[in-house]
Amino acid sequence: MDDSGIGLWGVPLAILGGAIRVSTPFIFVSLGEAITERSGRINLGLEGTLVFGAMSAYAVAVKTGSPWLGLVAAAFAGLCFGLFHGWICKFPKVNDIAIGIALMLFGSGLAFFFGKPFIQPSAPDLPAIPLGAWSDIPQVQAALDVNVLFLTGAALAVFLWWAFRNTRAGLILRVVGDSSDAARAMGLNPNTVRLAATGVGGALAGIGGAYLSLYYPGSWTEGISSGQGLMAVALVIFARWNPLGCFAAALLFGGAGALGPALQSVGVTQGYYLFYAAPYILTLVIMIATSSPSRSLAGAPGELSITK
């Protein structure tokens, strides 16, 4: 391909590669939140979980030299945050939205406190799979240099979509999310199911944080998340609690987040920074479009607090 052809495809390829890189934490956080909300509980604390997971992964990777141990540490940290959120929310008259906001601030503050010694040290990165090795075009190679967590997230989205519809665990989760009374009539304990769902959701958010610090952008800083945990909540609502919809919406958000860097990479020097706000504008548009005082959200679990 000549230089003119490469230039023509430069922006789309940059957006594709950026969408894959930027969407991965959205995929894990949104899938975790989808599991949590399917049980009838909302967790706004995933932003704090994401940040603390990023710090935990980076710190463990620095100390051990293994990004995989860092990933495990992030998942465990997220699990603990999720279980703590689920345990508090089981008490009567406790508002899960208020608790989520409190844990978001707590998790972020804790990460900033314990993460200060790890701002300068370098940690090993999670590996990527060079799916573009067949091409001799650098832009194609860069766009198709896919991290293993992206492929894992794609497979997890398909599995959850199937599991929600075809497994006993998926049925239990949906029953608890739609009606606590019906769940009790079946001999289920809604609090136990929601505790487990919130814990799993927190673990997935922690993995999303590990991706941020160990691959893209691949460092630990206090501003590493930029609100991705909160945007993932809007993403789940936009996807109507469908795991496949979460994956597609994460790619959409990722593509929006890649616009600014893509334009910058092809030599646009003025105005490109305005496109860095695209994910936040998209979040605002989605929240406005899905809000209505006169109708309930299609597909929303009946016990979810935002539907009452």
307: tokens are: 């539907």
CA distance 249 to 259: 16
Q: Quickly state the pLDDT bin for 9 (edges 50, 70, 90).
A: low
Looking at residues 288-306, what average pLDDT do you find? 69
Q: How many CB atoms lie under 10 A from the CB of residue 50?
A: 38
Q: Assess whether pLDDT exceeds 80 at residue 13.
A: no
Query: Is 3 part of any domain?
Result: no
Which pLDDT does position 160 carry in this prediction?
A: 97
Q: Which two tokens stand for residue 215?
A: 């691959």
| Total number of domains constituting the chain | 1
How far are the Cα atoms of 28, 43, 176, 258, 289 from residue 35, in angstroms, in the given order? 11, 10, 12, 27, 23
pTM greater than the 0.85 cutoff? yes
Q: Residue 60: inside a domain, yes or no?
A: yes
pLDDT of residue 3: 46
Average pLDDT along the chain: 87
Task: Give the pLDDT of residue 301.
Answer: 85
Task: Give 206-244 pLDDT, tens digit per residue.
Answer: 999 999 999 988 899 988 988 889 888 888 988 889 999
- The parent domain of residue 252 ranges over 24-126+150-288
Residues of the chain above pLDDT 70, percent: 88
31 has pLDDT over 80: yes
Q: Is residue 244 part of a domain?
A: yes
pLDDT category, 133, cuts 50, 70, 90? confident
Give the tens place of pLDDT for each residue, 137-170.
776 777 778 999 999 999 999 999 999 999 999 9
Sign of the torsion angle spanned by Cα atoms 161, 166, 167, 169: positive
Helix (H) or strand (E) holding 145: strand 145-147
Tell me the pLDDT band of 195, cut-offs 50, 70 and 90: very high
Which amino acid makes up residue 223? G
